[in-house]
Structure 1
Amino acid sequence: MPKTGTISHVSLSVSDYEAGKKYYSHLLVDILGYKQVAEHPYYTMWALSSGECICISPGNKTPHQKQNPGLHHLAFNVEKKEEIDAAYQKILKFHEDNKSLTGCTILDAPALYPQYGEGYYAVFFTDPDNIKLELAHIPNYH
Protein backbone atom coordinates (compact mmCIF):
# COMPACT_ATOMS: atom_id res chain seq x y z
CA MET A 1 0.00 0.00 0.00
CA PRO A 2 1.51 3.37 -1.01
CA LYS A 3 2.20 5.90 1.73
CA THR A 4 -0.25 8.76 2.08
CA GLY A 5 1.02 11.85 0.33
CA THR A 6 3.32 10.13 -2.16
CA ILE A 7 2.79 10.83 -5.85
CA SER A 8 0.71 8.21 -7.65
CA HIS A 9 1.31 9.37 -11.20
CA VAL A 10 1.98 12.36 -13.41
CA SER A 11 -0.01 12.61 -16.62
CA LEU A 12 1.09 14.78 -19.55
CA SER A 13 -0.88 15.70 -22.66
CA VAL A 14 1.15 15.57 -25.87
CA SER A 15 0.41 17.15 -29.25
CA ASP A 16 1.68 14.14 -31.24
CA TYR A 17 0.84 10.89 -29.45
CA GLU A 18 3.17 8.66 -31.53
CA ALA A 19 6.12 11.08 -31.11
CA GLY A 20 5.36 11.33 -27.39
CA LYS A 21 5.36 7.56 -26.96
CA LYS A 22 8.69 7.31 -28.77
CA TYR A 23 10.27 10.13 -26.76
CA TYR A 24 9.02 9.09 -23.32
CA SER A 25 9.76 5.43 -23.94
CA HIS A 26 13.38 6.37 -24.63
CA LEU A 27 13.63 8.63 -21.58
CA LEU A 28 11.73 6.48 -19.14
CA VAL A 29 12.70 2.96 -20.24
CA ASP A 30 16.15 3.34 -21.79
CA ILE A 31 17.51 5.96 -19.39
CA LEU A 32 15.53 5.83 -16.14
CA GLY A 33 14.53 2.16 -15.82
CA TYR A 34 10.74 2.37 -16.03
CA LYS A 35 8.66 -0.37 -17.65
CA GLN A 36 5.76 0.29 -19.97
CA VAL A 37 2.70 -1.07 -18.19
CA ALA A 38 -0.18 0.10 -20.42
CA GLU A 39 -0.80 1.32 -23.94
CA HIS A 40 -4.20 2.38 -25.19
CA PRO A 41 -5.41 4.81 -27.85
CA TYR A 42 -6.11 7.32 -25.05
CA TYR A 43 -3.03 6.89 -22.79
CA THR A 44 0.30 5.13 -22.35
CA MET A 45 1.79 4.51 -18.90
CA TRP A 46 5.25 3.65 -17.62
CA ALA A 47 6.01 2.67 -14.00
CA LEU A 48 8.86 1.98 -11.64
CA SER A 49 8.74 -1.12 -9.44
CA SER A 50 8.22 1.24 -6.47
CA GLY A 51 4.91 2.36 -8.02
CA GLU A 52 5.59 5.83 -9.45
CA CYS A 53 3.97 6.24 -12.86
CA ILE A 54 4.23 8.64 -15.79
CA CYS A 55 1.40 8.75 -18.33
CA ILE A 56 0.94 10.53 -21.61
CA SER A 57 -2.26 11.05 -23.54
CA PRO A 58 -3.20 12.76 -26.79
CA GLY A 59 -3.75 16.48 -26.38
CA ASN A 60 -4.32 19.44 -28.64
CA LYS A 61 -1.71 21.27 -30.73
CA THR A 62 -1.41 24.32 -28.44
CA PRO A 63 2.29 24.74 -27.55
CA HIS A 64 3.29 24.30 -23.91
CA GLN A 65 4.37 27.48 -22.12
CA LYS A 66 6.06 26.85 -18.78
CA GLN A 67 5.18 30.35 -17.56
CA ASN A 68 1.44 29.61 -17.82
CA PRO A 69 -0.36 28.14 -14.82
CA GLY A 70 0.24 24.40 -14.65
CA LEU A 71 3.39 22.36 -15.10
CA HIS A 72 6.63 24.37 -15.05
CA HIS A 73 8.95 21.37 -15.40
CA LEU A 74 9.29 17.73 -14.43
CA ALA A 75 12.44 16.58 -12.62
CA PHE A 76 13.64 13.01 -12.10
CA ASN A 77 16.09 11.92 -9.40
CA VAL A 78 19.29 10.18 -10.43
CA GLU A 79 21.35 8.34 -7.80
CA LYS A 80 24.83 9.12 -9.13
CA LYS A 81 26.22 12.20 -10.83
CA GLU A 82 27.83 9.98 -13.49
CA GLU A 83 24.38 8.72 -14.50
CA ILE A 84 23.47 12.25 -15.58
CA ASP A 85 26.55 12.46 -17.80
CA ALA A 86 25.70 9.09 -19.40
CA ALA A 87 22.03 10.08 -19.80
CA TYR A 88 23.06 13.36 -21.38
CA GLN A 89 24.99 11.48 -24.09
CA LYS A 90 21.97 9.23 -24.74
CA ILE A 91 19.65 12.24 -24.93
CA LEU A 92 21.99 14.00 -27.38
CA LYS A 93 22.13 10.88 -29.56
CA PHE A 94 18.34 10.43 -29.44
CA HIS A 95 17.80 14.08 -30.44
CA GLU A 96 20.35 13.74 -33.27
CA ASP A 97 18.75 10.50 -34.52
CA ASN A 98 15.21 11.92 -34.29
CA LYS A 99 15.48 15.41 -35.77
CA SER A 100 11.88 15.17 -36.95
CA LEU A 101 10.77 15.45 -33.32
CA THR A 102 10.73 19.23 -33.09
CA GLY A 103 11.03 20.89 -29.71
CA CYS A 104 13.67 18.51 -28.38
CA THR A 105 16.39 20.79 -27.06
CA ILE A 106 19.14 20.67 -24.49
CA LEU A 107 18.57 23.76 -22.36
CA ASP A 108 21.53 23.38 -20.01
CA ALA A 109 24.25 20.73 -20.21
CA PRO A 110 25.19 18.78 -17.07
CA ALA A 111 26.64 21.10 -14.44
CA LEU A 112 26.64 21.93 -10.77
CA TYR A 113 23.82 24.25 -9.71
CA PRO A 114 24.82 25.40 -6.20
CA GLN A 115 21.92 27.86 -6.13
CA TYR A 116 19.63 24.81 -5.76
CA GLY A 117 21.69 23.12 -3.04
CA GLU A 118 25.13 21.83 -2.20
CA GLY A 119 26.27 19.28 -4.78
CA TYR A 120 23.12 19.73 -6.95
CA TYR A 121 24.08 18.39 -10.39
CA ALA A 122 21.58 18.40 -13.24
CA VAL A 123 20.83 18.51 -16.95
CA PHE A 124 17.82 20.37 -18.39
CA PHE A 125 16.14 19.59 -21.73
CA THR A 126 12.76 19.67 -23.47
CA ASP A 127 10.46 17.06 -24.94
CA PRO A 128 8.80 17.38 -28.39
CA ASP A 129 6.13 19.71 -26.90
CA ASN A 130 8.72 21.95 -25.27
CA ILE A 131 7.97 20.65 -21.76
CA LYS A 132 11.04 21.29 -19.61
CA LEU A 133 12.52 18.11 -18.13
CA GLU A 134 15.37 17.66 -15.68
CA LEU A 135 17.56 14.86 -14.41
CA ALA A 136 18.99 15.79 -11.02
CA HIS A 137 21.49 14.32 -8.61
CA ILE A 138 20.91 15.85 -5.20
CA PRO A 139 23.28 14.47 -2.54
CA ASN A 140 21.88 14.14 0.98
CA TYR A 141 18.40 14.99 -0.31
CA HIS A 142 16.37 12.98 2.19
Structure 2
Amino acid sequence: MTLPQGFHHIEINVKNLKKTSEFYEWLMPELGFSLYQEWENGFSYKIESSYLVFVQTEELYMDIPFHRKRSGLNHLAFWAKSRAQIEHLRVQLKKKNISFLYEDKFPFAGGENHYALFFEDPDRLKIEIVAPR
Protein backbone atom coordinates (compact mmCIF):
# COMPACT_ATOMS: atom_id res chain seq x y z
CA MET A 1 0.00 0.00 0.00
CA THR A 2 1.34 3.43 -0.95
CA LEU A 3 0.92 6.00 1.80
CA PRO A 4 -0.09 9.58 1.00
CA GLN A 5 2.67 12.20 1.03
CA GLY A 6 2.86 15.98 0.86
CA PHE A 7 0.06 18.23 2.02
CA HIS A 8 -3.12 16.86 3.58
CA HIS A 9 -4.88 20.23 3.19
CA ILE A 10 -4.36 23.98 3.34
CA GLU A 11 -7.10 26.30 4.58
CA ILE A 12 -7.11 29.99 3.69
CA ASN A 13 -9.44 32.60 5.17
CA VAL A 14 -10.50 35.21 2.63
CA LYS A 15 -12.03 38.67 2.87
CA ASN A 16 -14.58 38.19 0.10
CA LEU A 17 -15.68 34.62 -0.59
CA LYS A 18 -17.62 35.53 -3.75
CA LYS A 19 -14.62 37.22 -5.40
CA THR A 20 -12.34 34.40 -4.35
CA SER A 21 -14.74 31.81 -5.77
CA GLU A 22 -14.94 33.66 -9.08
CA PHE A 23 -11.15 33.80 -9.29
CA TYR A 24 -10.51 30.14 -8.48
CA GLU A 25 -13.46 28.50 -10.27
CA TRP A 26 -11.55 28.56 -13.55
CA LEU A 27 -7.97 28.39 -12.24
CA MET A 28 -8.20 25.28 -10.10
CA PRO A 29 -9.57 23.00 -12.85
CA GLU A 30 -6.78 24.30 -15.08
CA LEU A 31 -4.33 23.05 -12.48
CA GLY A 32 -5.96 19.64 -12.25
CA PHE A 33 -8.06 20.28 -9.13
CA SER A 34 -11.76 19.36 -8.90
CA LEU A 35 -14.39 21.12 -6.84
CA TYR A 36 -14.58 19.06 -3.64
CA GLN A 37 -16.94 20.78 -1.18
CA GLU A 38 -19.22 23.83 -1.08
CA TRP A 39 -21.05 25.32 1.88
CA GLU A 40 -22.40 28.72 2.87
CA ASN A 41 -19.08 30.09 4.14
CA GLY A 42 -16.59 28.22 1.99
CA PHE A 43 -15.53 25.81 -0.70
CA SER A 44 -12.61 23.51 -1.48
CA TYR A 45 -10.74 21.97 -4.38
CA LYS A 46 -9.04 18.59 -4.33
CA ILE A 47 -6.24 16.88 -6.19
CA GLU A 48 -5.37 13.27 -5.34
CA SER A 49 -5.22 13.16 -1.53
CA SER A 50 -4.67 16.91 -1.01
CA TYR A 51 -7.15 19.73 -0.95
CA LEU A 52 -7.22 23.50 -0.68
CA VAL A 53 -9.98 25.16 1.35
CA PHE A 54 -11.21 28.77 1.15
CA VAL A 55 -13.35 30.14 3.99
CA GLN A 56 -14.98 33.53 4.50
CA THR A 57 -13.11 35.48 7.19
CA GLU A 58 -15.23 36.13 10.26
CA GLU A 59 -16.16 39.82 10.64
CA LEU A 60 -14.40 39.94 14.02
CA TYR A 61 -11.01 39.29 12.35
CA MET A 62 -11.21 41.53 9.27
CA ASP A 63 -9.09 44.47 10.53
CA ILE A 64 -6.83 42.95 13.17
CA PRO A 65 -3.07 42.30 12.61
CA PHE A 66 -2.04 38.77 11.63
CA HIS A 67 -3.95 35.99 13.23
CA ARG A 68 -4.62 32.60 11.70
CA LYS A 69 -8.36 33.36 11.73
CA ARG A 70 -7.88 36.48 9.56
CA SER A 71 -7.71 36.59 5.76
CA GLY A 72 -4.68 34.62 4.67
CA LEU A 73 -3.26 31.28 5.64
CA ASN A 74 -5.09 29.55 8.50
CA HIS A 75 -2.92 26.48 8.98
CA LEU A 76 -0.81 23.91 7.21
CA ALA A 77 -1.54 20.20 7.49
CA PHE A 78 1.03 17.61 6.49
CA TRP A 79 0.85 13.86 6.14
CA ALA A 80 2.85 11.77 8.60
CA LYS A 81 4.08 8.35 7.52
CA SER A 82 2.41 6.71 10.52
CA ARG A 83 1.01 7.19 13.99
CA ALA A 84 4.45 6.20 15.27
CA GLN A 85 5.96 9.14 13.40
CA ILE A 86 3.47 11.48 15.08
CA GLU A 87 4.47 10.08 18.47
CA HIS A 88 8.14 10.59 17.59
CA LEU A 89 7.46 14.19 16.49
CA ARG A 90 5.53 14.83 19.69
CA VAL A 91 8.54 13.76 21.79
CA GLN A 92 10.91 15.91 19.74
CA LEU A 93 8.62 18.96 19.99
CA LYS A 94 8.36 18.53 23.77
CA LYS A 95 12.18 18.48 23.98
CA LYS A 96 12.17 21.81 22.13
CA ASN A 97 9.53 23.23 24.53
CA ILE A 98 7.01 23.66 21.73
CA SER A 99 3.46 23.93 23.11
CA PHE A 100 0.71 21.79 21.66
CA LEU A 101 -2.74 22.92 20.68
CA TYR A 102 -5.73 20.86 21.87
CA GLU A 103 -3.36 18.70 23.94
CA ASP A 104 -6.26 17.59 26.15
CA LYS A 105 -7.85 16.01 23.06
CA PHE A 106 -4.69 14.46 21.55
CA PRO A 107 -4.62 12.56 19.25
CA PHE A 108 -8.26 12.94 18.19
CA ALA A 109 -8.78 16.73 18.41
CA GLY A 110 -9.84 16.62 14.75
CA GLY A 111 -12.39 13.87 15.34
CA GLU A 112 -12.49 10.23 16.37
CA ASN A 113 -11.10 9.00 13.03
CA HIS A 114 -8.55 11.80 12.62
CA TYR A 115 -5.27 10.98 14.37
CA ALA A 116 -3.31 14.22 14.42
CA LEU A 117 -0.92 16.46 16.31
CA PHE A 118 -1.46 20.24 16.45
CA PHE A 119 1.01 22.98 17.42
CA GLU A 120 2.09 26.49 16.38
CA ASP A 121 5.21 27.78 14.68
CA PRO A 122 7.05 30.86 16.05
CA ASP A 123 4.63 33.17 14.23
CA ARG A 124 1.65 31.33 15.75
CA LEU A 125 0.73 29.67 12.46
CA LYS A 126 -1.02 26.42 13.32
CA ILE A 127 0.66 23.26 12.06
CA GLU A 128 -1.17 19.93 11.87
CA ILE A 129 0.48 16.57 11.31
CA VAL A 130 -1.98 13.86 10.23
CA ALA A 131 -1.48 10.09 10.31
CA PRO A 132 -2.86 7.98 7.47
CA ARG A 133 -5.67 5.62 8.43
Category of TM-score, reference length = shorter chain: 0.3 to 0.5
The structure having more radius of gyration, on CA atoms, is: 2
TM-score (norm 2): 0.45
Q: Greater relative contact order: 1 or 2 (C-alpha under 8 angstroms, separation 6 or more)?
A: 2
